[in-house]
Amino acid sequence: MSDEIIVKPRGTTDILPDEVHRWTNAESTFRRNCEAFGFEEIRTPYFEYTKLFDRGVGETTDIVQKEMFSVVPSVKMRSIYEPDFDPEAFKRSQAKEGLTLKPEGTAPVMRAYVENKLYAQGGITKLFYITPCFRHERPQAGRLRAFHQMGVEALGTTSPTVDAEVITVAATYLESMGIPKTTLKINSIGCPTCRPTYHAALKAYLEPKLPKLCDLCNERFHKNPLRVLDCKNDSCRAEVADAPKMLDYLCEECSTHFDGVKRMLDAMGTAYEVDPGIVRGLDYYTKTAFEFVSESLGAQSTVCGGGRYDGLVEQIGGPSTPGVGFGMGMERLLLAIENAGTLQEKAQMMQLYIMVRGEDNLPAAGKLITAMRRLGIRSEMEHDGRSIKAQFKYANKRGIPYVIVIGDEERESGNIVVKRMEDGTESAFSLDDSIGISDFILK
């Protein structure tokens, strides 16, 4: 055996059997919640052409500038298996058509929406996803390089009622997952009509402060000044604390839309706070922007974020199509649940343990356990020929509620006894009466 132990890459995690139930519960609850609101599931590839994220996520975002994992297929392997392969042409095509592991879920869904012409169905298209994502960023609590994201997208309408509905999908889900002290913060970040005026006012405010802002903020100042307000650097945040507010510069359309969102949230019973500091970290957002923050997460308080993106579909080559959605990281969601002390306990895995006395009785045990499993009874049997005493000890240790012993007597008579471990209650059955045994276990 090698002395070197291979460990997982930095920024990744193993989800062990004792933890998987938390993930499956979060996923199944999310599916049920989305389906109740009329959303359908969509699954997209793990990697896309890099240009999708350059164009869709935005070149000024941290994701595109610093965090994407780009993939280059092996030139050597292509040369071996493709006799006509041209390495130089390949390198040129990769520069143009490089591949990237998806860092977020929305842009791939938009690409699938356009490529598969889902817009041709008419009306509102309502989609949800659960997907792995990848970002090369500094790992910290609730933030990994390989993580999982859940989200929804509603496409085809500018109605503020759909913004409120999407927000309520998230609110309902977070409530059902038992995350206390979660606050919804909403804002409007305007549209191409009113944002230029605000950008001018914001740049006039920021320009004297540039020497005190970080290098990234200085770069954002020229490309997208609104992104300066989203800087995570504490000193930068302090410098821009009194920046002009987009809400004071909204055009009539954006102002009316934001009023409509608030009115519908009130009607749906979804509590919120208006926070002019919510701008979100992606370039495609317009009008509505929102975040759910949880006291359970400390400094990294955002557990869910989203907003409206009326120009995104058009940016990636589709017809002009308004949209609104959100995304949430599952790792951060589960961390918030854990910190709140509301994690779901793991259910008992096994319901029945079939003990075997003697190798000759293994076939009889195998026949019975197959019948029980087909009836949906989670069952296990002895394989290693341990003593009955050792098998009882094992069943007690695992907390298995029912046991059956099959030895020579049981095999020859065709009769067995099912024992309830909790109170010692026993009931006799025929070896062939799998339905009766199942009913006894399930009652």
Residue pair 322/158 in contact by the 8 Å Cβ criterion: yes
Half-sphere exposure of 155 (CA within 13 A, CB side): 28
pTM of the model: 0.83
Q: Write out the residue limits of the CATH 3.40.50.800 domain(s) in the chain.
A: 352-442
Share the mean pLDDT of the chain: 87
pLDDT at residue 66 in the model: 56
Buried b (16+ CB within 10 A) or exposed e, 409-421: ebbeeeebebbee
CB atoms under 10 Å from CB of 105, counted, come to 25
- Cα–Cα distance between 284 and 167 in angstroms, integer? 18
pLDDT at residue 381 in the model: 95
Mean pLDDT to the nearest integer, 219-235: 82
Residue pair 93/105 in contact by the 8 Å Cβ criterion: no
Q: Alpha-carbon torsion 69, 73, 75, 77, what sign?
A: positive
pLDDT at residue 294 in the model: 86
Dmax (CA) of the chain: 93
Topology (CATH level 3) of domain 17-45+103-194+250-340: BirA Bifunctional Protein; domain 2 (3.30.930)
Radius of gyration of the chain (CA): 28
Mean pLDDT to the nearest integer, 212-238: 84
**Of the candidates 39, 305, 273, 288, which has an alpha carbon nearest to the alpha carbon of residue 163?**
288
- Residue bearing the bigger pLDDT, 34 or 138: 34
- Cα–Cα distance between 298 and 20 in angstroms, integer? 24
Residue pair 190/287 in contact by the 8 Å Cβ criterion: yes
Topology (CATH level 3) of domain 352-442: Rossmann fold (3.40.50)
pLDDT at residue 240 in the model: 86
Residue with tokens 């020859």: 412
Write the pLDDT tens digit of every residue in 185-216: 999 999 989 988 988 998 899 888 888 889 88
- Containing 113, the helix (H) or strand (E) segment is helix 106-115
- Cα–Cα distance between 19 and 344 in angstroms, integer? 10
Three-state SS annotation for 170-228: HHHHHHHCCCCCEEEEEEECCCCCCHHHHHHHHHHHHHHHHHHCCHHHHHHHHHCHHHH
* Percent of the chain topping pLDDT 90: 58
Q: Write out the residue limits of the CATH 3.30.930.10 domain(s) in the chain.
A: 17-45+103-194+250-340
- Cα–Cα distance between 221 and 215 in angstroms, integer? 10
Q: Which pair of structure tokens corresponds to residue 379?
A: 């069952």
Residue 94 has pLDDT above 60, yes or no: no
